[in-house]
Amino acid sequence: MDFLSLEYAALLGGAVVLYWFLPWQQVRWLVLLTASLFFYFQIQQQYVWLLLVMAWVNFWVAGQLSRSQAPLRQWLLVMGIALNSLLLVGFKYIPFLMTILADVTGLRAGTAIAEWARSSIVAPVTLSFYVFELIAYLADVYGGAKPATSFLEFATYKLFFAKLLSGPITRYHHWVPQLRQPAQWQSRNLWEGWWLITSGIVKKGVVADNFGVFVDLCLRNVERAGSGDLWLAIAAYGVQIYFDFSGYIDIVRGSAQLFGFQLPINFDFPYFATSVSEFWRRWHITLGNWMRDYVYIPLGGSRGGLGRTCFNLMVVMVVVGIWHGANWGFIVWGVWHGSALVGHRLLIASGWGSGFWRTTGGAIAAWLATQLVVLLGWIPFRLPNPVDLVQFCQRLWGQSADPQFASKVYVQSLGLSAGQIGFLLLLVLGWHGILYWGDRYRINVNPYLKIFAIPLLLFFVGLMSPAERPPFIYFDF
């Protein structure tokens, strides 16, 4: 079920009406759970049972954790984390791991298993996000938080359809109070929710998908593209992935707000960061917080000296890369960002240029350097296949475009020149800057203006979105 479809609008609208019409708390939970199961059934019906079984097993393990004493508690935690992790590995990483085994040992069985897994195993949509939330829940209960006492309540939280597919990663103990003490009906939730949903649809349908057309055309013709075209594609992909994912999050948070729920913010204008560390505090915030709390801090965080801190940062980013997918390109992306974080930490420790970075010129230089690092890092993320990645990088400098490339991409397919696409990128950056300025100075748009603008913006999306709308990028993870 597409988030930009009438089917989703109908499901959301029907669930909202029933939720607010029914006064009984547990019946409201049942409405949300039923809507969530129906939603997932429309996407991947063969795995509905798996999501329910995983929820039940973790619900049971958490209950045992709260009632047990050491060392049984430690074994239960390890068992629960291992079960969730093995499920993730079994569905997503077997082909990759078996290919590595075959390459290292020469065993034909590894290749055979990898080929069988690629053709036979279809990973459940949402598995990575689902597993991370479950691991966080078990770790929090082990740390002393109270477990869920009602499976209906826990399943409603875990399977809530708005956030089910790609987050934001929401922790049980942060969000469940909203289920237990639901907000009273307020008209503000209605128009603010639809405003967020509309904003997300504009980001996805107008900005991300249109730039995505150009990116796909360039990357399907790398051998014909010139270096300038590829740099333009890198910048366009940076815009595409941000507006695609943040647009999805806006739709999710807006959908939740219709029920009176506040989901965590996942983006805070990351492309205005002036360091890679700041970028990761603003990009995919809930994933960053998860990694900090359940990987970085347990490894020792920054408590073991500079060397240990740098090692921990690298481990965290490699894990982030592997979490995104079983491919060397994602590992390269993780190592790239890990190296950038380590470099930034070493720069701070050395004190080099500390006075310069606090000046206006230093801030501009830091912003440009950060964006260059981030944009270059998107190359292995978008092209995780090593062969494609090497070919792309080889053509980044000193290469002229095939004459047919400009005709096919700019004239026939897009009707825009490279300069016009560059201008559109600057226009989007400027618009984003206005939004950033308004957010920092807490400038609120008049609610009546929002209500008036919603149908106009949706009509605009219908006019400007491409004929073929690709799925959200993060649905692959």
CA distance 384 to 336: 13
User: Of 439, 426, 174, which Cα lies nearest the Cα of 282?
Assistant: 439
pLDDT at site 81: 97
Amino acid code (one letter) for 40: Y
Identify the active-site residue in 173, 174, 284, 324: 324
Mean pLDDT of 93-101: 90
Check whether 469 has a pLDDT greater than 90: no
Average confidence score pLDDT of the chain: 93
pLDDT at site 326: 86
Kindly calculate the radius of gyration of the chain based on its CA atoms and give it in whole angstroms: 23
CA distance 129 to 164: 8
pLDDT at site 180: 87
Using CA atoms of 294, 296, 299, 305 in order, give the dihedral in degrees to the nearest 10: -160
pLDDT at site 1: 78
265-279: burial string, b at 16+ Cβ within 10 Å, e else: ebbebbbbbbbbebb
User: Of 174, 395, 426, 212, which Cα lies nearest the Cα of 293?
Assistant: 174
* Omega prior to 124 cis, within 30 of 0: no
Mean pLDDT of 338-366: 92
Burial of 295 (0-12, 13-18, 19+ CB in 10 A): middle
Q: State the SS3 of 405-436.
A: HHHHHHHHHHCCCHHHHHHHHHHHHHHHHHHH
> Would you give the distance in Å from CA 130 to the centre of its chain?
13
Q: Are 35 and 29 in contact (CB under 8 A)?
A: no
> Where would I find the H helices in 296-384?
297-299, 306-324, 328-350, 354-357, 360-382
Q: At what angle do helices 127-142 and 306-324 cross, to 10 degrees?
A: 140
pLDDT for 393-407, tens place per residue?
999 999 998 888 888
pLDDT at site 107: 82
pLDDT at site 431: 93
Check whether 2 has a pLDDT greater than 90: no
pLDDT for 66-87, tens place per residue?
998 888 999 999 999 999 999 9
pLDDT for 166-206, tens place per residue?
989 999 999 999 988 877 788 888 999 999 999 999 999 99
CA distance 183 to 300: 39
Mean pLDDT of 214-238: 94
Q: How many residues does the chain have?
A: 477
Mean pLDDT of 230-258: 97
Check whether 21 has a pLDDT greater than 80: yes
Q: Are 366 and 274 in contact (CB under 8 A)?
A: yes
| CB-based contacts of 180-184 (< 8 A; 24+ apart in sequence) | 180/25, 180/153, 182/25, 182/28, 182/259, 182/260, 183/260, 183/261, 184/260
Check whether 249 has a pLDDT greater than 90: yes
pLDDT for 357-412, tens place per residue?
889 999 999 999 999 999 999 999 999 988 999 999 999 999 998 888 888 899 88
> Where would I find the H helices in 146-208?
151-159, 172-180, 187-202
Q: Are 15 and 31 in contact (CB under 8 A)?
A: yes
Q: How sure is the predictor about 282, in pLDDT bands with cuts at 50, 70 and 90?
A: very high
Mean pLDDT of 337-349: 95
Mean pLDDT of 274-296: 96
Would residue 344 show up in a list of annotated catalytic residues for this protein?
A: no
Cβ neighbours around 362 below 10 Å, total: 15
